[in-house]
Structure 1
Amino acid sequence: MNVISTRQLGKSYGKIAALHDLNLEVRPGEVYGLLGPNGAGKTTTLRLLIDVIRPTRGSITLFGSKMSPRLRGRIGYLPGDLVLYDRLTGADYLRFCGAVRAHPDLSEAFRLAKRLDLDLDRPAGELSKGNRQKLGIVQAFGHRPELVILDEPASGLDPLAQREFHSYVREYADGGGTVLFSSHVLSEVEQVADRVGILLAGSLVVEDTVMSLKANAMRELTFTFGEEVPAASFGDIPGVQAAVQVSGTEVRCRATGAVGELVRTAARFPLLNVTSHEPDLEDIFVHYTEEHGDDD
């Protein structure tokens, strides 16, 4: 049974469609990263899932059921526009959240706060943006929920805090928890996500594992030969999108998928060196953005 499942989920604001027919499945113990530019529908999706806003069409099930007060206690949530009670200390804020959730055991919250180097004795109004974000993360995980939904969780975190947070997320998922998070920080998604979905203009345009996305993405290979080799020799190889003569002895190829045939062809000539630019999620994200003509 999937932890999250949506069917033909859509949300419109008057004549403006924010989300189109979203079919999303998130599995138990999975970290799922939702990528997209501003206005793509990421925050709308997360708010629909936790029932802050209601869909115009389609359906949502969490743990195989529709949202209910009973399910809320099994979910942790970090909004993108986190609002805190400035006069409450971090510890008091966590106690307040525990009371609202009827979950007074704050041991996990205090452990995570220590890992993130968060001072819980200071009022929230005195905290920096990064420390306010840490407090939001702690409250989302602090009651040991089965599912945590995070909107731009790394926003404002320094590199050390980001690294500790990523480690905690992986430990949480390895222990059976499930995480769905949105992000503009592509390196973050690449580090912690098991699967990635890219939203553009309210539509899910691609969904796959990070490994598969990178394996099927456009990559660039440069071959250096001991003598002049015509670029046309590489033009008809499956997967090769372009072959350009850089100099008399150097050929640059852009290719997708397996490159075995390309390398075998290059090996027929006096090959001296091969360099490869491996795609990262940023390359993939830009590729799909350009391919789908997203202007947001």
Structure 2
Amino acid sequence: MTAPAVRTDALTKHYGRLPALEDLTIEVPPGEVFGFLGPNGAGKSTAIRLLLGLASPTSGRAWLFDVPAADVAVAHRRVAYVPADVALWPRLTGQEILHLLARTGPGIDTAYRDELLARFDVDLSKRADAYSTGNRQKIALVAAFATRAPLLILDEPTSGLDPLMEQQFRRTVDEARDRGQTVFLSSHQLAEVEAVCDRVGILRAGRLSEVATVPDLRRLHRSEVTLTYTGPAPRLDAVPGVDGVESLGEGRLRFALTGPPGPALHALADVDTVAVSIREPSLEEIFLDYYGRDSVSEVAR
């Protein structure tokens, strides 16, 4: 039987009296893209530090391919890691950094690395201290995805990328899956996780709330619609997918929309609409709606 790429058993980390992670138990099989989703401060980065052996758990254990995470020298032979805040050697050029990382990591596919460099549009001639946040992120992503490491651990990997580069990132994750690599992706962006992951672990206030497939995750996806109209107000209370209809006065109302927009559009067809705006809520707002106000107060502590 093939060992899980990532496995934890009641993994817990306290900083003094502050619980950062509580009883995390997950199992990620080889070849899966697993999303680790939660608001900022939910404990995602703490969990990754424990998986990488960069911190010691208060209790519980973690394994990477059945190697204890604490055995860093052995476990890291099969891992490539991209942190949320990439720090590079400031006096080295991008070319020198990639050369160094290729010699110290678990092997490199040089042809694929060159393809990624073109795709992410990286100038390797500059020194790292001249790179923007986004370019430092690109160097780290190219170095990780070009390796032959069976496990890629990515912590908020697109935080410095523009939308075009985010699309390239998603394409590259798909290619890693096709090669049989496991991707453990930590993110607070619902759309990013929804686009690339097979399953998602939802973390809030340091605790794993549930593990869901991406189709199951879509129940969290909702938009806030603001409508300006003239004449009679639309009747939306019984429309599937519409919730929380709120009058804003003077011919304006707001409502939440989940699922397909067809029923709502049909209900608005006969309304004299002046303007419509649609806003994607933050993950914190989604959690507030789905889990209730207690979840947000827990995250704030």
In the superposition, the TM-score normalised over structure 2's length comes to: 0.76
Cα deviation, residue 215, structure 1: 4.1
Q: Tell me how far apart the structure 1 counterparts of residues 201 and 207 of structure 2 sit (CA, whole Å).
A: 10
Q: Which residue of 2 aligns with 1:223?
A: none
Question: Which SS does the other structure have where 1:38 is aligned?
Answer: coil
- The count of corresponding residues between Structure 1 and Structure 2 is 285
One-letter amino acid of the counterpart of residue 141, structure 2:
I
Structure 1 pair 108/217, CA: closer, same or farther in 2 (3 Å)?
closer
One-letter amino acid of the counterpart of residue 42, structure 1:
K
Structure 2 unaligned regions, length at least 5: 225-234, 248-253, 264-269, 272-277
One-letter amino acid of the counterpart of residue 49, structure 2:
R
> 1:29-48 maps to which residues of 2 (within 5 A)?
29-48=31-50
Q: Tell me how far apart the structure 2 counterparts of residues 218 and 163 of structure 1 sit (CA, whole Å).
A: 22
Cα deviation, residue 240, structure 1: 10
Q: Tell me how far apart the structure 2 counterparts of residues 83 and 213 of structure 1 sit (CA, whole Å).
A: 33
One-letter amino acid of the counterpart of residue 15, structure 2:
Y
One-letter amino acid of the counterpart of residue 99, structure 1:
R
Q: Which residue of 1 aligns with 2:175?
A: 171
Structure 1 pair 102/205, CA: closer, same or farther in 2 (3 Å)?
closer
Q: Which residue of 2 aligns with 1:198?
A: 202
Please say if 1:53 is aligned against 2:55. yes
Structure 1 pair 191/105, CA: closer, same or farther in 2 (3 Å)?
closer
Structure 1 unaligned regions, length at least 5: 221-229, 246-251, 258-262, 264-271
Q: Tell me how far apart the structure 1 counterparts of residues 151 and 65 of structure 2 sit (CA, whole Å).
A: 9
Post-superposition Cα deviations, 1:173-204, rounded to whole Å, max 9, x if no partner, equal 12211111112232212211222222111111
Q: Kindly report the root-mean-square deviation, in angstroms, between the aligned alpha carbons of the 2 structures.
A: 4.1
Identity %: 42
Please say if 1:295 is aligned against 2:281. no
Q: Which residue of 2 aligns with 1:108?
A: 112
Q: Which residue of 1 aligns with 2:211?
A: 207
Post-superposition Cα deviations, 1:213-261, rounded to whole Å, max 9, x if no partner, equal 22477899xxxxxxxxx99x96xxxx9988999xxxxxx998999xxxx
Structure 1 pair 99/255, CA: closer, same or farther in 2 (3 Å)?
closer
One-letter amino acid of the counterpart of residue 131, structure 1:
N
Post-superposition Cα deviations, 1:125-183, rounded to whole Å, max 9, x if no partner, equal 11111111100111222222111011110011111111111111111112211111112
Q: Which residue of 2 aligns with 1:151?
A: 155
Question: Which SS does the other structure have where 1:155 is aligned?
Answer: coil
> 1:1-296 maps to which residues of 2 (within 5 A)?
1-67=3-69, 68=71, 69-101=73-105, 103=107, 106-215=110-219, 282=283, 284-288=286-290, 290-291=292-293, 292=295, 293=297, 294-295=299-300
- Higher Cα radius of gyration: 1
Structure 1 pair 196/111, CA: closer, same or farther in 2 (3 Å)?
same
Q: Tell me how far apart the structure 2 counterparts of residues 256 and 144 of structure 1 sit (CA, whole Å).
A: 40
Q: Tell me how far apart the structure 2 counterparts of residues 145 and 183 of structure 1 sit (CA, whole Å).
A: 21
Structure 1 pair 284/32, CA: closer, same or farther in 2 (3 Å)?
farther
Q: Tell me how far apart the structure 2 counterparts of residues 281 and 207 of structure 1 sit (CA, whole Å).
A: 20
Post-superposition Cα deviations, 1:92-130, rounded to whole Å, max 9, x if no partner, equal 111111222363653333322221111122211111111
Cα deviation, residue 38, structure 1: 2.4
One-letter amino acid of the counterpart of residue 122, structure 2:
L
One-letter amino acid of the counterpart of residue 40, structure 1:
A
Q: Tell me how far apart the structure 2 counterparts of residues 214 and 190 of structure 1 sit (CA, whole Å).
A: 8
Question: Which SS does the other structure have where 2:67 is aligned?
Answer: coil
Question: Which SS does the other structure have where 1:86 is aligned?
Answer: coil
Q: Is the 8 A contact 1:169 1:192 kept in 2?
A: yes
Cα deviation, residue 58, structure 1: 0.6
